[in-house]
A and B are shown apart, each in its own frame.
Chain A
Amino acid sequence: MIDAPLSAVSFAPLAVALPIFGAALAFILRRKRRTQRAVTIGVLVVTLCLEAWMLATVWDGRTYSVTLGGWAPPFGISMVVDGFSAFMLVVSTIVSLAVLLYATSQGLADGDEDGPVSIFHPAYLILVAGVSNAFLAGDLFNLYVGFEILLTASYVLLTLGGTTARIRAGTTYVVVSVASSLLFLISIGMIYAAVGTVNMADLAVKLPQISEGTQTVLHVMLLVAFGIKAAVFPLSFWLPDSYPTAPAPVTAVFAGLLTKVGVYAIIRTETLLFPGNRLSDALMVVAGLTMLVGILGAVAQTDIKRMLSFTLTSHIGFLIFGVAVGNQLGLGATIYYVAHHIVVQTSLFLVAGLIERRAGTSNIDRLGSLAKLSPLLALLFFVPAMNLGGIPPFSGFLGKLGLVQGGAELGTPMAWVLVAVSLLTSLLTLLAVARIWNRAFWRDAEDASDPDPLLLVGVSAARGATYDIVADEPASRYSDRGNAALLPNGMLAMTAALVLVGVALTVFAGPLFDFSDRVAGQMLDEGNYIEAVLGAGEGQAR
């Protein structure tokens, strides 16, 4: 195995350990809110620096592994750092940090007395730890543990406050997640019975030796388990049901990270454990249906958060399409598209939180005048919305272009159908976000049905020659909290920061595409991974 002596990669376990210890500390400090906040933010910043260092180490496309506890692989627990996992770590931690600062600003603006905020920070750090563990896991069981860590934290975050709606959404979410985890555990048991190992590199060597039929069964079971977590049609119905009821920052971070961990696991399954695109036709059918059903659901919604949840499931289809295409072009574009989608979908949910705060509702039938009331909010919505719809020159366009090129290079009739479906889906996405734009931002609040008094007060204030966004009459639950309480600067700043990260994905698309292409090439040759974990010689033994 390649053990890089004292490089960033040796510290990879810290990406999991730091947030866990931070969570413990934050929990001890639950009565001291300021210290708790400082600890949580500090831990995430340090973790982000560490992960950026790791990404710099593997930027050239090498794979490293770290073995824990002194047990040699394949028996010990190994963590694998390659371009893909390091890239996912960095993107996910950037997003988590931005959302955390957004939530902190929201808490500061509202006063921390509302709700059990003391549990928010520890649970949040545990979530980050689980996500990092899943990205770094070098064996299937550790991947399962990573999933369980992040899911358990997500149960707590989703039911924060224990209101009727959240408990209702929470029960469905918990039961579905537990069912998928049990399915994953069953698959692990079957795989262990079939080949006697759970180390992914070892599995990549040994799985081809068992019979074709058994391989297919195991392959399908893993894909179903991960498909539920990634919200792939027809296993996606839990998502739009449970996400929208959570607090805005929680929904945002869930939308960004949780489903992508499932997609990450699917990509590893398809490239490392069961390479050769045996199920790619089935995956393509599923990908096309995920896109279409998801986006048709989005068009039917009138609530912004629910609409965004449906676009989220719909765009998972693009990622599955890239995986199903399976050539270097498609896989590289998928890696780029994952990053794009994490950032853009999270920023849109943050904007939805701001809209709900500014206007008292997220139902587009009741919204209006927002472009006039807060031009900055309109800009913050417009950029990621166009990005999601795939309008050039944004990263959504570049990612989709890459996927379409990958599909065209494959050139099978199925791939062409999928290319057409993906273009249609982009168009429908544009329709969905344009509906939000037209109603919430462009029309007058007087035209809306039953608009919140906040909007109308704001309109008359804005007409009085000033663009002051704060309602000066006590018309709402927030307006008695003083100026700038409706749209706190910190929340706006963090949303803007995330929107800028999305724009940066466009600006630096050249180097990023080179990188993701290199990583895809490296992942398609699973010898690299096997050699990094098990040592030289095993990789060539295939």
Chain B
Amino acid sequence: MSTNITLLIVMGILFAVGIYLLLERSLTRVLLGIVVLGNGVNLLILSAGGRRGEAPLYKSALDAQEYSDPLPQALILTAIVITFAVTAFMLGIIYRSWVISRADVVADDDEDLRVSQQSTFDFEEDSPVPEDTTEFEGDESVPAGNTKEAGPSA
């Protein structure tokens, strides 16, 4: 299978740029990264179709070998439509995020921060169990005075 080297180089650049942008914290850059990466993937699928040939419209004079492979093109069309829809939706989210918080960056999760900062000592579970609480009245090992207070506190 022979492929177009220029397309491959462009594809590589698109992938590199896309992944770099995807790792940014600013949402618009992330979105641009997704768009660029999506185009890189489309080029990859196009290259997967093999060497170039005639447009795949039936001509009686042409041998089957002469056509280019139509399937990758169909796949790319679908992929373009999907990327388009997702891009539009993400723009909506980014705009909403801007309206709400005037920020274009991925925010931290408050609950995550709270959980990570909470004390490892849990009052309810880790407090030492008082020795003088028993529900068995007249237990020899427990002083009699304490048993009366030790019933289940209402």
Neighbouring B residues of A303 by C-beta, 8 Å: 111
CB distance from B102 to the nearest CB of A (A): 12
- Segment among A187-195, A258-266, A281-289 that sits at the interface with chain B: A187-195
Task: Flag if A145 contacts B22 (CB, 8 Å).
Answer: no
Neighbouring B residues of A181 by C-beta, 8 Å: 82
Q: Which 5 A-B pairs have the closest CB atoms?
A: A193-B48, A189-B45, A189-B44, A192-B48, A168-B107
Task: Flag if A241 contacts B109 (CB, 8 Å).
Answer: yes
Task: Flag if B100 contacts A302 (CB, 8 Å).
Answer: no
In the complex, residue of chain B having the shortest beta-carbon distance to the beta carbon of A197: B71
In the complex, residue of chain B having the shortest beta-carbon distance to the beta carbon of A297: B115
CB distance from B75 to the nearest CB of A (A): 6
Task: Flag if A171 contacts B89 (CB, 8 Å).
Answer: no
Once bound together, how far apart are the Cα atoms of A159 and B47, in whole Å? 37
Neighbouring A residues of B85 by C-beta, 8 Å: 152
In the complex, residue of chain A having the shortest beta-carbon distance to the beta carbon of B105: A171
A301 is an interface residue with CB less than 8 A from chain B: yes
Once bound together, how far apart are the Cα atoms of A162 and B99, in whole Å? 11
Once bound together, how far apart are the Cα atoms of A179 and B124, in whole Å? 42
Task: Flag if A182 contacts B38 (CB, 8 Å).
Answer: yes
Q: Size band of the A side of the interface?
A: 35 or more
CB distance from A363 to the nearest CB of B (A): 9
B17 is an interface residue with CB less than 8 A from chain A: no
Neighbouring A residues of B79 by C-beta, 8 Å: 185
Task: Flag if B72 contacts A192 (CB, 8 Å).
Answer: yes
A68 is an interface residue with CB less than 8 A from chain B: no
Q: What are 15 A-B contacts with C-beta separation under 8 Å?
A: A145-B78, A148-B82, A152-B86, A155-B86, A156-B89, A162-B100, A167-B93, A168-B107, A168-B109, A171-B90, A174-B86, A175-B22, A185-B41, A189-B48, A300-B115
Task: Flag if A155 contacts B41 (CB, 8 Å).
Answer: no
Number of B interface residues in the complex (CB < 8 A):
38
Once bound together, how far apart are the Cα atoms of A169 and B107, in whole Å? 9
Task: Flag if B96 contacts A188 (CB, 8 Å).
Answer: no
0/1 interface trace, chain B 91-127, chain A, CB 8 Å (1 if under): 0011011001100001101011001001000001100
Once bound together, how far apart are the Cα atoms of A168 and B37, in whole Å? 23
A211 is an interface residue with CB less than 8 A from chain B: no
CB distance from A45 to the nearest CB of B (A): 29
CB distance from A259 to the nearest CB of B (A): 20
Task: Flag if B101 contacts A178 (CB, 8 Å).
Answer: no
A439 is an interface residue with CB less than 8 A from chain B: yes
Once bound together, how far apart are the Cα atoms of A97 and B97, in whole Å? 32
In the complex, residue of chain B having the shortest beta-carbon distance to the beta carbon of A165: B110
